[in-house]
Amino acid sequence: MRTHKRPISPVPSKLLTTYAEEIAIKANGPIADIACGYGRNAKLISSFGAPVICVDIDQQALDFIKESLNEDGNLLTVEQLDLINDHWPFENNSLGAIINVHFFTAQLLEHFKKSLKLGGYLFLETIDGHGKNYLDLPPYGFIRQALAETFDIKYIKENKTGPDQIDAATVKLLAIKRRLT
């Protein structure tokens, strides 16, 4: 289990700042920030008046969100969850948007596809390709292909990374669910 003693950065995802208002206003249901860390992206989304469910394994980070970031009352709620080993808590077609920055697995992508409502937003940003991070990254084109049948991709940037024999890629994506899975 990898946790952080402090926020890596209080600054939200640069790409998310471009789309945060649209996501917050157009989400037709609850917004979940998956692997939220210390809440930097959830705070941004909630600044537009949207409630956000902050999900992370790290109770210290969730306590920080409750105590330090939830100035607007009940806009930020928290749920402790091991995203690898625990049962996925969201029902099919129950979320208006999912924010997922720097924690990706193919299993999570399948949960995201099922949990988003029609018209729901998926904002996904993998970790960068520094060091051996490529070992935790999806193959180039994997996310695009996995979403092709059910999502319209509004923005995607994929960059190959890692040694030549490894087909890994960093991905930044905003997609909208247009068909049921």
| Single-letter amino acid, residue 159 | N
Percent of residues in the chain assigned helix, strand, coil, to nearest 5: 30, 30, 45
Residue 34 has φ and ψ, to the nearest 5°, of -90, 130
Helix or strand or coil: residue 19? Answer: helix
pLDDT at position 1 is 45
The predicted structure's pLDDT at residue 131: 81
Contact 38, 61 (CB under 8 A): yes
pTM: 0.91
CA 130 to mean position of chain CA atoms: 20
pLDDT of residue 123: 99
Q: What is the pLDDT of residue 6?
A: 57
DSSP-derived letter for residue 47 is T
One digit per residue, the tens of pLDDT, for the chain of length 181 reads 455 555 567 899 999 999 999 999 999 999 999 999 999 999 999 999 999 999 999 999 999 998 887 665 668 899 999 999 999 999 999 999 999 999 999 999 999 999 999 999 999 999 888 888 888 899 999 999 999 999 999 999 999 998 877 889 999 999 999 998 7
The pLDDT assigned to 8 comes to 64
- Report the distance separating Cα 166 and Cα 36, nearest Å: 28
Predicted confidence at residue 155, as pLDDT, reads 98
DSSP letter, residue 90: P
